Amino acid sequence: MTTGDIQVPSKDLRHAGTLVLGVGNSLCGDDSVGPCLIEILAKRSLPPGTRVEDAGLPGWGLPSSLEGWSSVFLVDAVDIGLPAGSWRRFRLEDVKLWLQDENFSLHQADLACGLALAQALDRLPEHLYIYGVQPAQTNPGEPLSPQVSACLPGLADQIILDLGKKQYDTKANPHC
Amino acid sequence: MTKRIDVHHVTRVEGHGNIYVEITDGKLKECRLDIVETPRFFEAMLRGRPYIEASHITSRICGICATGHATASLRATERALGVELTKQTQLLRKLTFHGEILDSHVLHVYMLVAPDFLGVGSVIPLATSHPEVVLRALRMKKLAGDICAVVAGRHTHPIAMTVGGFTHFPTTSELMALRQRLVDSREDCEATVELASQLPWPQFERDTEYISLHKPDEYAFIDGDIISSDGPQLQAERYQEVTNEFLVPHSSAKHTKFQRTSYMVGALARFNNNFAQLHPRAKETAAKLGLRPKVTNPFLNTAAQVVEIVHCVEDAILVIDKLLSLNVEPEMPAPVTLKECSGVGVCEVPRGMLIHHYWINAEGTLTGANCIIPTNQNLANLEADMKALVVTILDKPVEAIQHNLEMLVRAYDPCISCSVHVLKIEPRSTL
């Protein structure tokens, strides 16, 4: 899915641009928050050089998706221990990636595994921000919860605001 | 003294399995691969569904062999209904199929098997110790995924493939771009062959019956007769004479056997049975890896996959050339005339021969289905290999026996392989 002023970014544009990547399973309740947000952003006016993409479950393909972009905004459901629908923006260096060693599976690599692989390969973008939304439930077959649904417009506004900034300062943002 | 290796929940895409080995006083008492997962009932899900939905439902059987299941499903439906495919459709399906085989084989060779030989536990430490290896794998996987996306609409679970044809068509420029990337990937293929040629493959031989599809004029991936390395060649409709599914107490997945007590399917079986139909560059690869049919070391199934990686890249280039000369244009799917019928669709997915058999009524509704996947067909043979291998290493420590068994299971590349890679075992020794 593409919006902004580009369809398929050229190699040069990719290096200069910003990618907003929605991650999650559209069939599993609030895990669909990433794809849902991409759907909203795709209908909005975005700064030039921005691409939005529903990455679904990128797994081990995440390093390839990140490669070449100077800035990437990732949106996903994250258990941050707050009321459902709350969201926080953070950088990778602000958190510890929990790799599920017991179930480490090449069929089921989660976002943490994909990020860890990108990190190990030195393929992370210069600026990487993760917008984590607290889910109410991530059950298969369930729709988006009312709480997460309600947070989407505000989150979309914030991401568009952040996309327009030239400087990123996570400490200046109350949601960080 | 008793040595036990008791591995619980070796997960696989369609199930869970356990490895159990018991050695008492230096003799093998028990060696089993228990499959304990609940059946998934896909065949039951198909009953009552319109024929047009079958390929989309069954592609969900596997996230890696999604194109394979969709193709076998479409061929079963098309053969039942007597649908004839155009040359363009056949070539587009073949190209997508090559993409999926490449994707799966690269995953297995680089991310499941290579860590064993390169002394790391998984792909993440491998990315630190050998980043160029992982980057190459990701590059090749990206190309494979893009082939599927360009031709069939998306990387996994093809949306553009339908009964009688396609609903979306790649442009000339897209095909030319893929062709160039395939040509460029020859360098990665050569590096893959180089890597495989340096791996210290375990020495273990056990002759068995090798079963695959066969076509006289091409390396069979879609359609063809069923052939055995022991001789007979049968039409696909006679698959039940080959598979002879049977139940064993320790497995919720059925075992199969044909003329021996078990048989093997997959890249090694294809290599052994269809060597003559490989692309010349793939034959050169086999020579570099020291492979000549018939290869009876199951660990070399992975090496046979490397041969197929080269074959698929080269054949995909040839297929694109044919598509470019045809000048791909949108065409309506072949027309269907409903009737009460049944049909068998066969193809060679990465892990071996896949069979879909459908029964369709005059309204176009499925009244019955039978799907036989390669992992099931390999279970009895894998178990036989495990037993034969263990007796050669009875004197080794439990950890070494376990490691060898894990490598053997991985060599078959079953859907359980990814979890076998990180087995947590609880070795127990009692007097």
The distance of A61 to chain B (nearest Cα, Å) reads 7
> Is the Cβ of A103 closer than 8 Å to some Cβ of chain B?
yes
Q: Tell me how far apart the alpha carbons of residues B269 and A100 are, in angstroms, rounded to a whole number.
A: 35
Nearest residue on chain B to A62, alpha-carbon basis: B138
Mean pLDDT lowest for which of A38-47, A52-61, B169-178, B201-210?
A52-61
DSSP state of B260: S
- Residue in B324, B305, B323 with CA at minimum distance from that of residue B313: B305
Can you give the pLDDT at residue B74?
98
Q: Tell me how far apart the alpha carbons of residues A91 and A129 are, in angstroms, rounded to a whole number.
A: 5
Answer whether B111 sits within 8 Å of A103, measured CB to CB: no
Tokens 């893929």 -> residue? B178
Task: Work out the average pLDDT over A76-86.
Answer: 93
- Residue in B130, B133, B142 with CA at minimum distance from that of residue B110: B133
Q: Which two tokens stand for residue B291?
A: 């492979």
Q: Tell me how far apart the alpha carbons of residues B377 and B185 are, in angstroms, rounded to a whole number.
A: 33
Tokens 């062709």 -> residue? B179
User: What is the radius of gyration, based on Cα positions, of chain A?
Assistant: 15
Answer whether A60 sits within 8 Å of B123, measured CB to CB: yes
Q: Tell me how far apart the alpha carbons of residues B221 and B215 are, in angstroms, rounded to a whole number.
A: 9
Task: For residue B125, report the phi and psi dihedrals to the nearest 5 degrees.
Answer: -60, -30
All residues of chain B having their beta carbon less than 8 Å from the beta carbon of residue A104 are 122, 421-422
Q: Which of A10, A57, A105, A119 to mutate to test the interface with B (most CBs of B within 10 A)?
A: A105
Please list, in sequence order, all residues whose beta carbon lies within 8 angstroms of the beta carbon of residue B251, skipping any fewer than 6 positions away: B33, B34, B35, B36, B379
Of the two residues A30 and A1, the one the predictor is more confident about is A30
What's the pTM?
0.88
Nearest neighbour of B123 by CB, restricted to A103, A107, A117: A117
> Is the Cβ of B177 closer than 8 Å to some Cβ of chain A?
no
pLDDT in tens, B319-374: 999 999 999 999 999 999 999 999 999 999 999 999 999 999 999 999 999 999 89
Write out the DSSP string of B274-289.
HGGGS-HHHHHHHHHT
> What length does chain A have?
176
| B192, pLDDT greater than 80 | yes
> Is the Cβ of A60 closer than 8 Å to some Cβ of chain B?
yes
> Is the Cβ of A161 closer than 8 Å to some Cβ of chain B?
no
Check if the beta carbon of residue B342 is closer than 8 Å to that of residue B80.
yes
Q: Which of A102, A104, A115 to mutate to test the interface with B (most CBs of B within 10 A)?
A: A104
Nearest neighbour of B131 by CB, restricted to A113, A116, A121: A121
All residues of chain A having their beta carbon less than 8 Å from the beta carbon of residue B419 are 103, 105
CA B285 to chain centre: 20
Q: Tell me how far apart the alpha carbons of residues B184 and B109 are, in angstroms, rounded to a whole number.
A: 20
Amino acid of residue B297: N
A80 band by pLDDT with thresholds 50, 70 and 90? confident
Query: b/e for B253-273, b at 16 or more Cβ within 10 A?
Result: bbbbbbeeebbbbbbbbbbbb
